[in-house]
């Protein structure tokens, strides 16, 4: 059972179920989101409520944030009425947003300057993993701080791994997002080719899923392409954001990421095409449009 107060900021698709799992584990929560209706929903289920991130931090020694992107984490933690205005020495901020590793390092430095501990702890596993409490959580920051909060993180995830210093959690998350996006793109190309050759894409899927081409991406995304069903899931616009952060980081490090860059451009084109809120398996529709054929035959 949890034994101390936890502040929770960002009650979106991921934050809501993660907050619920912390309540189930016995932690006493105070929540905040810029959208008041989301605060009301959780407060009706028994959490405390705050009217700013600062107030969340004033009332809790541990504050978790999960907001969309780098600028949002900066606003929630470093901004006016943000977490650092309310946090006391010895408290901890755990940012579970998927953001640029460089921004995590900037936030960590600002926390250290106030005697506040920091962990970047982005997640993988999507809404189903958040609901089931089976997220993969990849963590950057000091090992002793990680060790102190491993039990708390385990209430939201089944895999909790310390990856290195500040920003390391988000570097690992970017690695994850590169592998997933480029794998989806390859599945899309392969199934379009097979369809154009007159084959049944579901037969192709059955024939290759047990071989070296088999992957969680193939098993979960090929059926969506075959059905022509791109309901999210993980949205195109969020994946575009992650690859953008990957390319920014690669530029800082002097690492060319040619295929990631191509797929990031495809995701951008899909957003312009009104598909920003489709599942990221819709990368296949970019390939379909170029070939004037659909995998599903729809």
Catalytic residues: 173
Burial of residue 197, with CB atoms counted within 10 A of its CB: 0-12 exposed, 13-18 middle, 19 or more buried: exposed
Applying CB under 6 A, the span of 4-12, 102-110, 144-152, 212-220 interacting with ligand NAD comes to 4-12
**Residue 68 interacts with ligand NAD (CB under 6 A)?**
yes
Binders of ligand NAD among residues 205 to 264 (CB under 6 A) are: 234, 238
**Residue 14 interacts with ligand NAD (CB under 6 A)?**
yes
Give the DSSP H or E segment for 136: strand 135-141
Binding mask 24-43 for ligand NAD (x = CB under 6 A): --------xxxx--x-----
Angle at 156 between CA 71 and CA 73, to 5 degrees: 10
**Smaller CB separation from ligand NAD, 39 or 218:** 39
Binders of ligand NAD among residues 84 to 143 (CB under 6 A) are: 97-98, 123-124, 126-127
Applying CB under 6 A, the span of 5-13, 196-204, 248-256, 279-287 interacting with ligand NAD comes to 5-13
Least distance to ligand NAD from the beta carbon of 11, Å? Answer: 5
**Residue 76 interacts with ligand NAD (CB under 6 A)?**
yes
Task: Select the residue whose beta carbon is closest to ligand NAD and give its number.
Answer: 12
* Two tokens, residue 141: 């920051």
**Residue 157 interacts with ligand NAD (CB under 6 A)?**
no
**Residue 66 interacts with ligand NAD (CB under 6 A)?**
yes
Applying CB under 6 A, the span of 6-14, 56-64, 259-267, 272-280 interacting with ligand NAD comes to 6-14
Least distance to ligand NAD from the beta carbon of 94, Å? Answer: 13
Sequence-ordered list of residues with C-beta below 8 angstroms from that of 252, at least 6 positions apart, any chain: 102
* Cα gap 33→148, rounded to integer Å: 26
* Cα gap 226→194, rounded to integer Å: 12
Q: Which residues of 15-52 are buried (b: 16+ CB within 10 A; e: fewer)?
A: bbbbbbbbbebebebbbbbeeeebbeebbeeebbbbeb
* Cα gap 230→25, rounded to integer Å: 34
* Cα gap 80→296, rounded to integer Å: 50
Which residues of the shown chain bind ligand NAD in the complex (CB under 6 A)?
9-15, 32-35, 38, 53, 66-68, 72, 75-76, 97-98, 123-124, 126-127, 234, 238
């Amino acid at each position: 059972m949890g034994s101390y107060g936890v502040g929770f900021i960002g009650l979106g698709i991921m934050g809501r179920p993660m907050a619920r799992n912390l309540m189930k584990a016995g932690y006493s929560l105070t929540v905040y989101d810029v959208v008041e209706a989301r605060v009301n929903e959780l407060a009706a289920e028994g959490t405390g409520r705050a009217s700013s991130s600062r107030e969340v931090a004033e009332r809790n020694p541990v504050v978790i944030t999960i907001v969309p992107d780098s600028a949002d984490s900066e606003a929630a933690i470093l901004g006016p009425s943000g977490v650092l205005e309310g946090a006391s020495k010895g408290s901890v901020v755990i940012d579970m947003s998927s953001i640029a590793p460089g921004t995590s390092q900037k936030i960590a430095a600002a926390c250290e300057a106030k005697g506040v501990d920091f962990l970047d702890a982005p997640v993988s596993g999507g809404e189903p993993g958040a609901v089931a409490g089976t997220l993969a959580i990849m963590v950057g920051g000091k090992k002793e701080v990680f060790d102190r909060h491993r039990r708390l993180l385990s209430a939201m995830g089944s895999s909790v791994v310390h990856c290195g210093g500040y920003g390391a959690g988000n570097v690992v998350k970017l690695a994850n997002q590169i592998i997933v996006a480029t794998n989806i793109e390859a599945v899309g190309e392969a199934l379009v080719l097979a369809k154009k050759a007159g084959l049944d894409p579901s037969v192709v899927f059955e024939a290759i899923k047990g071989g070296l081409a088999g992957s969680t991406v193939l098993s979960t995304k090929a059926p969506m392409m075959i059905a022509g069903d791109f309901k999210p899931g993980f949205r195109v616009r969020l994946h575009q954001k992650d690859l953008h952060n990957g390319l920014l980081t690669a530029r800082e490090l002097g690492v060319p990421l040619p295929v990631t860059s191509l797929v990031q451009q495809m995701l951008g084109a899909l957003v312009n095409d009104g598909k920003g809120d489709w599942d990221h398996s819709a990368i296949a529709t970019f390939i379909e449009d170029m070939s004037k054929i659909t995998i599903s035959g729809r």
